[in-house]
Amino acid sequence: MRECHNTLIDKSTMAERFDNLVEGLSEEHAMAVILADPDTLERPVDKYMAATRLGVSNSDKSLNILIQAAELNPENLFDRITRRKAIDALGRRKSSKALPALFRSLNCSDQPAVINAIDAITRIGSPLSGSDQKQLLRVLDGEDIQKRAVIQAHTRLGIETAKPEISLLQNDSNPLVAGAARAYLARVHNQKKGLDLLIPQLADPIAGRRQSAVIDLGDAGDVSRLEALVTAPASMSLRAKSAFQLVDPDKTCCVPQEHETLVKQLLQDHPQNLKLRPEWICPSEPEHIENNLQHRDEARQYGGAVALMRMQIPEKLDLIDQIKQKLWSDYVIHYYLTVVVSLQALDERSDLIRLALAETIPQYTKSRIAAAWGCVGLGLNDQIPLLKELSEKAQWIPLKWTCQQVLKQLS
């Protein structure tokens, strides 16, 4: 059965990356082009870039224009993509004024627009009327990717009335649907036993299944599953998002003392502490390591990092330099090189830690966490001013909390 892998994308992260492309686009220009006839524009792609730009605006006028864009005619390709982007942007704006348009979008035939509307309704987070709940539940009757989105919406909005319909899906043949249903039953109806079947899924050979289990355990709200999350061979940022849902649901940047050790283990992200299958770990040879670090499957990336850490120091330093010269701008490679230097306290490459900690582009945030921990092992007290700034102002709580812990250790 086809699985709904694209539901596993962290949309807020993807949107942040896209924001870098529209930084130079003014709100006025975005409002001028988003509703324009694509045939009249020299660059029709500006329409959907405009939608993303207006997602970070805050004026009532731009909100109203986004609402109009959410109902563009989908017959034209550029209008169809713009409508999807506008719906997503309305979720980022989090205004309940957009809800009527978003609920109308649930009736359209363009599935990506429907899924974006479900996600936007969820992100806005307003209490839904009985009729709105019925309309949301109605789109449960769709493809698996749509089913998963609808179930997640019910979980995150705490809608209790869908138990009969969602209960039927907890044993669905698609584990991404079944896992979402089990998370709903655990979170909303306190039926936590069903989460047991998600634990082996955390080490599944298929990356999408591992990722979905991480997301579902975060949604389920059962903090007793924290240790299983920590050792799952999936993206650290994805695991951190779910873990902080469990230990800090109110986003206070405070982790209960009984969970601090596990959260530190997760954020320090030692590859050898993950439940990696032997076939994911490559030989400690340059070509194999470089290929693994660039693999699409995060488990194989971690396997490449393990192999790199096992090399003798001279060869390891030489390979770090080679890979850095070729691939340092790749945020995945950037992260794993930073992790290895940090965990093994490679003094000869402490400059790499300083570079990583100073990166401000959103996709390098994971690297900043690894670099912050590296400041302890390498004794980089000269980084204390930056660590202090991040401990007070960082937007992502795992980075903010990390810097707070690192400052305690350095002082």
Looking only at Cα atoms, what is the longest distance across the chain? 67
Amino acid at 281: I
Q: What is the CA radius of gyration of the chain?
A: 22
Q: What pLDDT, on a 0 to 100 scale, did the predictor assign at position 331?
A: 96
Whether the CB-CB separation of 249 and 220 falls below 8 Å is answered with no
Whether the CB-CB separation of 356 and 338 falls below 8 Å is answered with yes
Nearest to 112 by CA among 193, 7, 183: 7
Burial class (CB in 10 A: 0-12, 13-18, 19+), 28: exposed
Tokens of 302: 């971690």
The whole-angstrom separation of Cα 301 and Cα 179 is 25
Q: What pLDDT, on a 0 to 100 scale, did the predictor assign at position 8?
A: 54
Looking up tokens 């393990």 gives 306
Among positive and negative, which fits the CA dihedral 155, 157, 160, 162?
negative
Over its length of 411 residues, how does the chain's per-residue pLDDT go in tens digits? 334 444 454 554 445 444 445 556 899 999 999 999 999 999 999 998 999 999 999 999 999 999 999 999 999 999 999 999 999 999 999 999 999 999 999 999 999 999 999 999 999 999 999 999 999 999 999 999 999 999 999 999 999 999 999 999 999 999 999 999 999 999 999 999 999 999 999 999 999 999 999 999 999 999 999 999 999 999 999 999 999 999 999 999 999 999 999 999 999 999 999 999 999 999 999 999 999 999 999 999 999 999 999 999 999 999 999 999 999 999 999 999 999 999 999 999 999 999 999 999 999 999 999 999 999 999 999 999 999 999 999 999 999 999 999 999 998
Q: What pLDDT, on a 0 to 100 scale, did the predictor assign at position 25?
A: 83
Q: What pLDDT, on a 0 to 100 scale, did the predictor assign at position 411?
A: 86
| Residue 288 CB contacts under 8 Å (≥ 6 apart), including other chains | 282, 304, 307
| Residue 129 CB contacts under 8 Å (≥ 6 apart), including other chains | none
The whole-angstrom separation of Cα 167 and Cα 184 is 9
Whether the CB-CB separation of 238 and 274 falls below 8 Å is answered with no
Q: How many CB atoms lie within 10 A of CB 16?
A: 17
Amino acid at 339: V
